[in-house]
Amino acid sequence: MTSPGDERARLEGAEGDFVERLAAAYAPPPMTGAERAAFDEGVRARLERPRLRRPLAAAIAAAAAATLLWLAISDSIGPSHLPGEEEVEAVVASSWEDELFLGSDLSASEDRDESEALPRDYLAIASAFLDG
Amino acid sequence: MVSGAAAAGDSIAAANLEQRFTAFVATHRERARRLAWRLVGGDAAAAEDVTQDAFVKAYRALGRFREDSTLETWFYRILVRQAHNHRRWRAVRLRWSGGSGEDAPDPSPWPARDPGLGRRIAEALDRLSRRQREAFILVHLEGFTVRESAELMGKPTGTVKSHLHRALRMLRAELADLRDVDGGCRK
């Protein structure tokens, strides 16, 4: 690699000076002896550190892939669309409006919905003991 | 007997490797840290981190390089990439922290002779594109040739020249006042 400044020297006077000024103003101070020693010590410490990064990165990548796969599968086999709050409100409102304007029995429909939601076993028990 | 000789050979090779590495660090420590410092925007702690990581990578690859010049190019290429990765992560952290500046480099220990000017230059460099900034720092501030810089950046020399030209034009516009003050270009 070349020594500093050869390309900079090719710049014409004013531009060369401008770049020179930037180079001087935008630089860290040279390292002291203690800083050099601390730096070397830091490099040593990093070298002695076990190389965990690669297995860790692989584990993270595997976990991310598994999550994506799980999301893809659950999307394809699960309900494609869950009703949002607005949609639920719209259904409730439409039932209430139906009763008011069309005369349909809201409580009956609620009862029906509830019994339909019960499992068959519970329905059998309910009919045996309650309806008797 | 054979295994003893092999073990002795291994330890000599390891000692040679250590020696080469120590010499390599001693030769490039200062320049590498300065380059990293400039690439990460004047953050001393980040520059040290980036440089040490690059040296560790160089050490692990040292056995594969016969000539130090090849290792040197490879090392600086790693360094440039590490610095870029650092900037990317810093940008992500800043975005996640709501741009509160928590992870921004600590401005207090700005070491340049003129802290205000140093910060202005850092901000002007920040406004350049990644490639423009890298080209300008490598060629004009660090003194790599265009060909070397092209190799370090993994770009053709023509592309580097074009980045360099645009970077210089933008910096001259951003820092136009520097060309008129004492010690600047026009007196």
pLDDT at residue B1 tops 60:
no
Residue whose C-alpha is closest to residue B44's, from B108, B126, B140: B108
* Among A8-17, B87-96, B176-185, the range of highest mean pLDDT: B87-96
| Structure tokens that stand for B185 in this block | 């270009």
Model pTM score: 0.67
* Distance from the B112 Cα atom to the nearest Cα atom in chain A, whole angstroms: 6
Q: Do A22 and B139 touch (CB under 8 A)?
A: no
In tens, the pLDDT along A42-101 reads 999 999 887 655 666 677 778 888 887 887 777 666 555 555 555 545 544 455 455 444
- Which of A18, A28, A46 comes nearest B179 by C-beta? A18
Residue for token pair 């900037």: B87
What's the pLDDT at A64? Answer: 80
Span B84-103, average pLDDT: 77
pLDDT at residue A109 tops 50:
no
Q: Do B185 and A24 touch (CB under 8 A)?
A: no
| Euclidean distance between CA atoms B83 and B89, whole angstroms | 10
State the distance between the two ends of chain A, measured CA to CA, in whole angstroms. Answer: 98
What's the pLDDT at B24? Answer: 92
State the DSSP H helix or E strand holding residue B62, giving kind and residue range, or none if neither: none
- C-beta of residue B48 within 8 angstroms of C-beta of residue A39: yes
